[in-house]
Amino acid sequence: MSTQPHDLLVLGDLHLGGSLRPPLTFKARRAVVRLDRELARFLDFQAAHPNRDAQGRARPWTLVLNGDCIDFLHLGLVPDGITRDPAEDEAMYGLDFDESRSRWKLACIVDYHRHAFAALCRFIEAGHQIVFIAGNHDADLCFPQVQRDLRGHIARFARGDREAVKAAVRFSEWFHHEPHRAWFEHGHRFDPYNTFPDPLEPIPAGDAAERRISPTFSHWGLRYFANRVRNFPLHDLETWTARQFLHWAWYKAGMGILRLVLVWGAFLLRYVRDTAGARLKGRTDAVARARRRTRLRALARSARLPVDRMIAIDALHLPHVGASLGRLMLSLYADRVALGLGVLLVLGVGLPNTDGWFASLVLTLAVLGAAWAGARWLDRRRPQVDVHPVLGRVADRIGRLARAPVVVFGHTHRPVLRRMGRTRWLNPGSWEHVGRHTSPCEGGGVRCRCDSRFAIITGSGRGTRAHLMAWCQTRRRPRELSQA
């Protein structure tokens, strides 16, 4: 990273390629065009309008793309002429999560979103630089060849020195740290459904030809369930109630309930099988533990932090839902089903053997009370679906450990700039559904599309300032929402 004074421009959750799922409808293609158009306008504006210091000199931007900016996970297209083991039928389940498939996905995404990648190239040629942070949707960026490919894809749009463009692109597999300014990470470490068995190694070490992304609940669920049920709603699932899921399954799934249950069960069995190695390896593999400690020491040196602080930051992550079978059952609410069946069993056996209505009432109340207490106790141990409040709580702890005035997370798509203790917690929001909603803009209440959020961080130390911004698509310029 250049030591030249620079300001930080932060985008997250662009999800380039996320709409590329079969059947590729006109609506999906229109979403690609809309996102490319606004992102290109935004980047061109920011590249031409850097901040200036007291002497009037331009301060270059460091554009931090804070995870899920390239959506390898949701891309569902499959190349022609696939030749794979019949046991891994990619025509049915979608592409595997190995390096060769990730490289094909990247080339496909760049082809459809070429205007966005051309804008990234122009941004670099204007004198700025880019940092890609891997999220759960673009964990594929941890593959070395994918990183080289992405540099090459961006540089192919260069009008000048391609090597200089490649040198201005950096990658981080976990976090980006600007000492005494800001700590950036995507935030999926704190989401049990989207974190990896080991967040430090989303792609476990091994033979380069056989390496693949570790199973997360969302990766395996998308491939082995959602790819079989093409109209499964992929977005905003954390806001759905059980009633909404049942309504979708009955009326909109496009297959019978029995077949849907069988597909779901097959996915769960595969997920349990594929996470079994991680459950056992974490307890018994001394080599893996030693490699992990070495990795943490190297990260501490690069972040210019004491090793004990880096270990403490790493220890904040939450275990994935497949860390134990009990945790998986809690995540699937199987405990509620078991409690319900238990109540019916106890009452069914006990009530006929009680003497009188009073004894029956006491037994019923006792069983229901015990079931209620058990449900409350299990709920406190259930993996949390909505991790937005969790990110707010850990932001202050990371800020203290990393000595960072600002801690930036993404993942939840909810823009926020809030003081948490000594730290400012920042989430720049998402551009995934850019242009879908209108809202009043400044200047007479004009209705326009200002739903694209980003952030700017300036200064350092006690002079650090964080700004949550909106990109006004009607006026084609940014406007500030809040500052801390």
Question: What span, in angstroms and rounded, lies between the C-alpha atoms of 454 and 63?
Answer: 11
Question: Per residue in 145-192, pLDDT tens?
Answer: 999 999 999 999 999 899 999 999 999 999 999 999 999 999 999 999
Closest to 10 (Cα-Cα) out of 449, 433, 407: 407
The average pLDDT across 336-346 equals 90
The average pLDDT across 18-28 equals 87
CA dihedral 153, 159, 162, 164 (to 10 degrees): -120
Closest to 109 (Cα-Cα) out of 73, 62, 156: 73
pLDDT on residue 86: 46
Q: How many C-beta atoms lie closer than 10 Å to residue 292's C-beta?
A: 16
Q: How far is CA 449 from the centre of its chain?
A: 25
Decide if pLDDT at 241 tops 90: no
Q: How many C-beta atoms lie closer than 10 Å to residue 236's C-beta?
A: 9
Question: Per residue in 42-62, pLDDT tens?
Answer: 999 999 999 888 788 889 999
Percentage of the chain lying above the pLDDT 90 cut: 52
- pLDDT, the chain, mean: 87
Contact assessment for residue 469 and residue 484, using Cβ atoms and an 8 Å cutoff:
no
Contact assessment for residue 132 and residue 170, using Cβ atoms and an 8 Å cutoff:
yes
Closest to 16 (Cα-Cα) out of 149, 129, 115: 115
pLDDT on residue 452: 86
| pLDDT range class, residue 87, cuts 50, 70, 90 | very low
Query: Could you say which DSSP state residue 233 is in?
Result: -
DSSP-derived pairing of the beta strands 423-427 and 182-185: unpaired
Domain ranges of the chain: 7-326+385-483, 334-379
Residue type, 362: V
Mapped onto helix, strand or coil, the DSSP state of residue 102 is helix
Task: Report the CATH fold assignment for 7-326+385-483.
Answer: Purple Acid Phosphatase; chain A, domain 2 (3.60.21)
Question: Per residue in 202-234, pLDDT tens?
Answer: 988 776 667 889 989 999 999 898 888 877 777
Question: Per residue in 289-329, pLDDT tens?
Answer: 888 899 999 999 999 999 999 999 999 999 999 888 889 89
Question: Per residue in 364-383, pLDDT tens?
Answer: 999 999 999 999 998 888 88
